[in-house]
Structure 1
């Protein structure tokens, strides 16, 4: 059996986001597979010195619009996949699924945030953006099998897209502690990190609930010594909104916005923070809470979507709409060293259950099942 794995998210803007982290972890873990796996990469992609997996480089337009991307997927991609001699094609980019023509198809199912939060995605969206979201739904429906990254995500695809549950397998992504290994003592890149701080890592779209988090912090800012570090690259519109919330809440001296940070720097911040705070309304998996746990950082997160599933009993959980409860959680974790130690210990035990080796082994079982070898 041969498998073609779409690794093109490593060659696009996805590489700095959750999809890119997922694909890199999976590619590295599958390098020792018992049957050939061919990476499909963009034609300009650099070779990876860490991975000896066979690579096929496929030309495609550098910045295709939705319609050109669709034409490429329908007309060119099937030939590229067939040229690998594969029996199974695994699409890790939800926009990059080809119709199966002589091979079975698998797609990784991340989330359906655009259906849960339509105003956020559709209000003011271009025709091409709307077409792209609809095409993504069609791609998922026509795949022979889906790999969901959490049980919550599987339920979403069953409920919202009507996909039979037997066509969906759940395989959790892993956590790679080497990405966040301690570096030099000055590894904070000159960021003016406060002595005591809460940490958030991620975007600022409404479902992430940054405004609610800052409102909760404003309620307790006079009762805790911590400031807040909000790490992550924000588009101009989101950055403007966040700085506006900070000013309106009187938090200007208590919030640091360092922007995008490389993993060693993030690791240093996770290890130094009083707690990682992630009160999101909706996630497909919630990888940052595993990153925090893996770096011995106490976690405060949400009771919604997949987050309780991933956190288990290793986090303080609150409803994201309960601002007072979130404020109380910030205060309790700040004041209670015993609670922080308990969360660190539980977090280390919890994150040990999520490895890329386990992810790879379970993914290989799905390949064999879909190829009819099970």
Structure 2
């Protein structure tokens, strides 16, 4: 294929958009939705996985190239760069939004760093020691190489920026913070609408706390279970609903459930639809988010935007996102977590205050701002972008 030199294009790897939920997919979807409209005279190319349903964008300045594989697979690191080299001109810009930049990627490349867990705390990514020995060295080398080669690095939080610079101090001048946003679909609902969306999951009249996220060790869901049990051993009217997108019912969670003796009041779902999730946020006493490591922590914002009080971790990026609008506790301190849960359950004035603070806090995070800051970073290495 003949290399094209004009007009220059922005090429975004959007292969993660093929139905699976998660923070990276949410970020990429927001960029796809907002970037083309912010730069209507710029041609955009989206790398779309063959398994994705239909076009990812209908914007007039967007075309799509079908490319198989996953952005975080070693094959993308080793081979995608050569494939791009044959198709991109010298002024085209490439954005890799999943912490790995393909070898041989264009000189004008942008990398999104959500976190560096594989380097900072590999035990939370690879709890199996054998897999850790096998996989952690690859991820460490891939991430370090990607940071070193990227023209600009977009960190999703100040904490992510700091971790990136700790991995590679020479990257500091190239790192920009582009905080994430919250979709307008996350908004308060009246009680009848929230119940209509969720009664099949949680019966009417049942009070419950909510836990959400992939069932990986860093999410620390077992601590949420143990803190709930410590707070409400005899409170038969209070339940715990856990939505785990991946690794549903991992061994550490099952052990925690058995240890509490409260199996009848703890309910685990593999996933729920977006409409039902908004309803669960609207009905919950609070979101419990005891993560040990986050690059950002989108569920905190989603809950706040729905008027749901939040009890969250004091570690890594989570307090940066929560600000003064949540009860922030050390997620390793079960007594502290349990005390916060009891306070929310018993104190209506506290719940109302957290709701008001959360709504105001969430309103400060908009995907359009994320896209604008992303475009500003693009311009630093591609000044042809108007």
Structure 1's 53 and 133: CA in aligned 2 closer, same or farther, altered over 3 A?
farther
Equivalent residue for 1:235, pick from 238, 243, 247: 247
The TM-score, its normalising length taken from structure 2, stands at 0.87
1:106 aligns to 2:117 (yes or no): no
Equivalent residue for 1:186, pick from 186, 189, 196: 196
Equivalent residue for 1:313, pick from 324, 329, 335: 324
Q: Which residue of 2 aligns with 1:4?
A: 11
Q: Which residue of 2 aligns with 1:262?
A: 273
**Is the 2:309–2:354 Cα contact (8 Å) retained in structure 1?**
yes
Aligned mates of 1:357, 1:249 — CA distance in 2:
44
Aligned mates of 1:64, 1:171 — CA distance in 2:
20
Mark the runs of 5 or more structure 2 residues left unpaired by the alignment: 1-7
1:226 aligns to 2:238 (yes or no): yes
Aligned mates of 1:64, 1:216 — CA distance in 2:
37
Q: Which residue of 2 aligns with 1:58?
A: 66
Aligned mates of 1:216, 1:169 — CA distance in 2:
37
Aligned mates of 1:336, 1:178 — CA distance in 2:
28
Deviation at 1:64, TM superposition (A): 9.8
**Alignment of structure 1 residues 244-263 onto 2, 5 Å:** 244-263=255-274
**Is the 2:188–2:307 Cα contact (8 Å) retained in structure 1?**
no
Deviations 1:200-220 (A, max 9, x none): 101232222222222211112
1:88 aligns to 2:93 (yes or no): yes
The TM-score, its normalising length taken from structure 1, stands at 0.89
Aligned mates of 1:346, 1:273 — CA distance in 2:
16
**Is the 2:84–2:105 Cα contact (8 Å) retained in structure 1?**
no
Aligned mates of 1:64, 1:226 — CA distance in 2:
41
1:16 aligns to 2:28 (yes or no): no
Q: Which residue of 1 aligns with 2:4?
A: none
Aligned mates of 1:246, 1:155 — CA distance in 2:
36
- RMSD over aligned CA atoms reads 2.5
Aligned mates of 1:259, 1:79 — CA distance in 2:
42
Aligned mates of 1:217, 1:262 — CA distance in 2:
25
**Is the 2:9–2:92 Cα contact (8 Å) retained in structure 1?**
yes
Aligned mates of 2:55, 2:25 — CA distance in 1:
16
Aligned mates of 1:139, 1:146 — CA distance in 2:
9
Equivalent residue for 1:159, pick from 151, 155, 166: 166
Deviations 1:297-326 (A, max 9, x none): 000111110111111110000111111111
1:124 aligns to 2:130 (yes or no): yes
